[in-house]
Amino acid sequence: MSAPDERNAAAYASWSDDDWDNTWDAAEPPPRSRKPRGLLSRLAFLVLAIGLLAGGSLTGLAFYSVDQTIDAFSGTSDEDLTRFVSAGEVSAQLEHDLTAQPAPASVGAAGARYLASIQENLSSAWQSPAAIRDMVKRRVLAPGLGGSEDTLADHFSRIEVISPTRLAIDLTDSETNSVVIGLCLGFVTAPLPLWQVDHLAWQTPQPHC
């Protein structure tokens, strides 16, 4: 991660794992771990990455190969995976946004003072992991702020922000509670976030409801 400025870099560096209040189940691989990937994970990741880079044509195969409940994952398509890529872009945008921008000249002197007052009100957030996490999450879920038109929350039960530039997404269909695939992805900033995925793990499929 490249922090936007020294202030944020210092703040991020001071955060511990506890700050992030990671609530993932103990049975699941910790999203921040850097264990060597198993053969299956490496193979699946390769298929996934190729599929994404090839316009998503192979991603369905990747899903199907690990779980036959793909049909329960209605609404999920190649587009959903494309959104994961955009998460890195969202984080990159957030890094940019967290860096105080000068007020446009067109807003005038009073406008500059007004904007400074808003920035002052925001400043405490830069030091808060919880606030950063909320911002990243909101942007991944927000059509206007860089996320998808159809919200990830409509499909997935848990999306955790591991750090300002890394997300972990549990691909459990929230409607059916069917785990199609448990996939923890750590994203880093654009342009090629998937090249730097830290961890990939398959989750045991659960029975249909």
Residues that bind other proteins (CB under 8 A): 94, 97-98, 101, 103-104, 106-111, 113-122, 124-125, 128, 131, 134-135, 138, 141-147, 151
Distance CA 7, CA 127 (A): 9
Q: What is the DSSP string of 118-185?
A: HHHHHGGGGG-HHHHHHHHHHHHH-TTTTS-SS-GGGTEEEEEEEETTEEEEEEEETTT--EEE----
CB of 66 to other proteins, least distance (A): 31
Nearer to other proteins, 42 or 114 (CB): 114
Q: Which is nearer to other proteins, 3 or 145 (CB)?
A: 145
Least distance (Å) from other proteins to the CB of residue 163? 17
User: Residue 54 or residue 114: which is nearer to other proteins going by CB?
Assistant: 114
Residue whose CB is less far from other proteins, 47 or 190: 190
Tell me the C-alpha distance between 17 and 22, whole Å. 7
CB of residue 109 to other proteins, shortest distance in Å: 6
**At its nearest, how many Å lie between other proteins and the CB of residue 206?**
25
